[in-house]
């Protein structure tokens, strides 16, 4: 997520203005970036937050945990939280399950139904039905518990509106083997939408992590494309007080890196995310965009209550360059 509210607004816009220099869609992108800022904050940004007037001090990571112990042929469990409310939701879930069943490397799939009002026929997956809708953090925790019961060496997370590349699981395993200091792998998340707004999210890095400056460690990786080794999965859980899918993954990752766990990026572990714009008209796309960033803004407010150091961490992190994501 582009956590713009922890930055001076003028600096945010100036950053993108320079980043897009020479690109034909510069003005169009900037218009949507302004709308993103407004939606994220809920009000017109007339003044900077007082915390952005302070020069942040450098963040020193704690000593790293022991290397991951992922074996040569590890057991992998994929956890998918799902709340199915519409026919489109059901179609997306089916597409995900087909993609997971077609992987070059088999994995056990656990779908956690977060008290959906409707539920489609599902194949090639274990389904856990929750009696109450408590949000994706609680659903992921239930799936994580089941993965540990199955003795998973790797627990991979994705979402019901995603389609992983056919080699996604294979590339996650390779990433753990190539970098033994990695305890979590955050892959490259690209837009499945063909509309311009889909490309906006991809260029914006909405669903890609951020790398800590001067380090290979990430500040966070979104849970639509995140995998944990067993040691990390055994000790850390998602904070279930986050009410919806916004910033609960950032909180999880912040707690991980603050206690010595290392998150790495893999350009080759690719997931395609369906933002849902292709099925909408102009007004529908605008509403969807607005609601998404309003939700992110609400999530970040909860995050800042729980992680007051997050602005400092963000200030010493960098978005993963678009060129890295395009290599995937």
Q: Is 265 within the bounds of a domain?
A: yes
Q: Is 231 exposed, middle or buried (0-12, 13-18, 19+ CB in 10 A)?
A: middle
* Closest-CA residue to 111 (of 98, 132, 97, 99): 97
- Predicted local distance difference test score (pLDDT) of residue 314: 85
Domain that holds residue 272: 162-326
Identify whether the C-beta of residue 223 lies closer than 8 Å to the C-beta of residue 209.
Answer: no
Is residue 183 within 8 A of residue 278, CB to CB? The reply is no
- Counting residues of the chain whose pLDDT is more than 70, the rounded percentage is 89
Q: Does the pTM exceed 0.85?
A: yes
Residue 30 inside a domain? The answer is: no
Instruction: Give pLDDT tens digits for 94-144.
Output: 999 999 999 999 999 999 999 999 898 888 999 999 999 999 999 999 999
Residue 70 predicted with pLDDT over 60:
yes
pLDDT of residue 2: 44
Give pLDDT, residue 32: 81
Residue 121 lies in a domain: no
Residue 10 pLDDT grade (very low, low, confident, very high; cuts 50, 70, 90):
low
What are the structure tokens assigned to 278, written together? Answer: 């292709």
The predicted pLDDT at position 53 comes to: 45
From CA 128, how far away is CA 115, in angstroms rounded? 10
Task: Give the three-class secondary structure for 113.
Answer: strand
Residue 32, domain member (yes or no): no
Residue 49 has pLDDT above 60, yes or no: no
Q: Classify residue 58: in a domain, yes or no.
A: no
Q: What is the count of structural domains for the chain?
A: 1
- The pLDDT score that the predictor gives to residue 312 is 85
Is the per-residue pLDDT at 17 higher than 60? yes
**Residue 38: in which H helix or E strand, if any?**
helix 26-41
Outline where DSSP puts E strands in the chain: 76-82, 108-113, 126-129, 154-157, 162-164, 184-191, 210-212, 218-220, 226-229, 263-273, 317-319
For residue 304, tell me if it sits in a domain.
yes
What pLDDT, on the 0 to 100 scale, is given for residue 288? 81
Q: How far apart are CA 166 and CA 8, in angstroms?
A: 40
- pLDDT attached to residue 83: 95
pLDDT score for 7: 46
Paired sense of beta strands 108-113 and 76-82, if any: parallel
Both structure tokens of 325: 């994501």
176 in a domain, yes or no?
yes
Instruction: Examine the pLDDT at 47 and tell me if it is beyond 60.
Output: no
pLDDT value at position 15? 77
Residue 191 located in a structural domain: yes
Residue 323: its pLDDT value, please? 52
| pLDDT at residue 207 is higher than 90 | no
User: Strand order in 154-157's β-sheet?
Assistant: 126-129, 108-113, 76-82, 154-157, 226-229, 184-191, 263-273, 162-164
Check pLDDT > 60 for residue 8. no
Q: Which of 22-26, 88-92, 152-156, 274-278 has the lowest mean pLDDT?
A: 274-278
- Greater model confidence, 45 or 23: 23
Q: Binning pLDDT at 50, 70 and 90, where does residue 239 land?
A: very high
Give 209-226 pLDDT, tens digit per residue.
899 988 899 999 999 999
CA nearest neighbour of 1 among 192, 231, 325, 248: 248
Residue 167's φ and ψ, nearest 5 degrees, are -105, 15
């Amino acid at each position: 997520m582009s956590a713009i509210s922890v930055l001076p607004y003028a600096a945010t816009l100036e950053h993108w203005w320079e980043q897009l220099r020479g690109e034909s869609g510069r003005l169009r992108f900037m218009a949507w970036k302004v709308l993103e800022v407004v939606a994220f904050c809920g009000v017109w940004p007339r003044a900077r937050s007082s915390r952005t007037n302070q020069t942040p001090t450098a963040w020193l990571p704690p000593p790293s945990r022991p290397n991951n112990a992922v074996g040569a042929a590890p057991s992998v469990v994929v956890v998918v939280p799902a709340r199915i409310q519409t026919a489109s939701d059901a179609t997306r879930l089916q597409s995900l399950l087909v993609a997971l069943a077609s992987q070059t490397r088999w994995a056990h799939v656990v779908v956690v139904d977060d008290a959906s009002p409707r539920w489609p026929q599902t194949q090639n997956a274990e389904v856990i039905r929750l009696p109450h809708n408590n949000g994706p953090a609680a659903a992921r925790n239930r799936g994580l518990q089941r993965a540990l019961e199955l003795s998973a060496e790797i627990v991979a997370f994705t979402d019901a509106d995603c389609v992983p590349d056919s080699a996604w699981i294979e590339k996650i395993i390779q990433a753990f083997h190539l970098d033994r200091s990695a305890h979590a792998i955050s892959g490259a998340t690209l837009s499945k939408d063909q509309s311009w707004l889909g490309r906006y999210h991809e260029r914006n890095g909405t669903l890609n992590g951020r790398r800590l400056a001067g380090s290979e460690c990430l500040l966070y990786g979104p849970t639509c494309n995140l995998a944990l080794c067993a040691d990390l999965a055994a000790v850390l859980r998602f904070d279930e007080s986050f009410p919806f899918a916004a910033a609960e993954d950032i909180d999880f990752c912040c707690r991980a890196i603050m206690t010595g766990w290392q998150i790495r990026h893999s350009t080759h572990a690719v997931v395609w995310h369906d933002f849902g714009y292709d099925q909408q008209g102009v007004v529908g796309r605008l509403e969807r965009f607005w609601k998404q960033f309003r939700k992110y803004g609400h999530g970040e407010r909860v995050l800042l209550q729980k992680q007051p150091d997050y602005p400092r961490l963000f200030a010493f992190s960098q978005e993963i360059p678009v060129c890295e994501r395009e290599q995937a």
